[in-house]
Amino acid sequence: MEYVVPMYESERGWGAKIDGYAGPFETIDAANVFRNAYNKKRNNKDQAPDYYILALEPVAYKGQECLYRSTVEDDLP
């Protein structure tokens, strides 16, 4: 089974939504590695900023269009 990671976009004053998906990933473990690395690099402030994108828990891939890059190597420290 393949998995995708929903990408949750939030902007103060405008609301929030699932903006797209990253993946697909061959295993749930691979999807979680992406999710954890993305959030560690991008969502590490004490307070939520006015605009952010959060990688959520992986879900089963059912043909969702995956518009987000599914690697974070360039982003890792």
pTM: 0.87
Q: How far apart are CA 76 and CA 38, in angstroms?
A: 8
Q: State pLDDT tens for residues 36-51.
A: 999 998 888 888 889 9
SS3 category, 16? strand
> DSSP letter at 54?
E
15, amino acid identity: G
Q: State pLDDT tens for residues 25-35.
A: 999 999 999 99
